[in-house]
Amino acid sequence: MEQLEIRNLSLQIGEVPVLRDFSCKIDMGESLTIIGESGSGKTLLAKLLVGHIPQGMTVRGNIFFKGVDLGKLTVKQWQKLRGRDIAYLVQNPMSMFNPFQKIEAHILETILSHEKCSKRVALSKALEWMKRLNLDDAISLLKKYPFELSGGMLQRIMLATILSLDPQVIILDEPTSAVDCHNCSTISAILQELQNNGKTLI
């Protein structure tokens, strides 16, 4: 079944074209790898797929999720879709954390904004994924502030939070850029498992 279709997509910032007439279709259980030089528009495309249009960017073309034109969604509809159906792991995890909030608060805020469940259930889901991502001392990490943790740990905590929501499409912007070889292998194995279970990966 077709999950995501990008049709004749062009991106331009000011007078500078970033992407020209890009089209593709991605089915359930498929993965798409986007490669390019730094500044070629990979991150801009990833942000656009979750409804974030940077100021000054002109967008032409269409993006469809299960036949729905994402460009026509309201802010409220995007809030419901983003994270729950289409999730995005950013390249720089520190940018997504409030330095004055503990990790537990970040996790709860994200999960409870999309799911009607208790705090205990939300944390249980996140802790399970954290342990699978080799964050063995997961419970103590909940009491830490972001600045007390490495970029690699924050990256895995963010991924664990995303996976707790069981999204159908997962967009990953260099998901192993801040982790060592051992954890890189773990993440790769988990992503392969997700794909085998029908998740769409970009």
Residue-wise burial string across 69-89, b where 16 or more C-beta atoms lie within 10 A, e elsewhere: ebeebeeeeeeebbbebbbbb
Q: Which pLDDT belongs to residue 31?
A: 92
pLDDT score, position 94: 82
pLDDT tens, the chain, 202 aa long: 568 999 999 988 888 888 889 999 999 999 998 887 777 778 888 888 998 887 888 899 999 999 999 989 998 898 888 888 999 998 887 888 999 999 999 999 999 999 999 999 999 999 999 999 999 899 999 999 999 999 999 999 999 999 999 999 999 998 888 788 899 999 999 999 999 999 999 9
Q: Which residues contact 107 (CB under 8 A, 6 or more apart)?
A: 122, 123, 126, 142, 157, 160, 161, 164
pLDDT of residue 136: 87
Domain residue limits at 133: 2-201
Structural contact between residues 116 and 124, judged by C-beta atoms closer than 8 angstroms? no
CA distance 106 to 128: 16
CATH number for the domain spanning 132: value is 3.40.50.300
pLDDT score recorded for residue 158? 94
Per-residue confidence (pLDDT) for residue 37, from 0 to 100: 78
Residues contacting 115, CB < 8 A, separation 6+: 84, 122, 165
How many separate domains does the chain show? 1
What is each CA distance from 119 to 39, 94, 101, 123, 152, in whole angstroms? Answer: 40, 24, 16, 6, 25
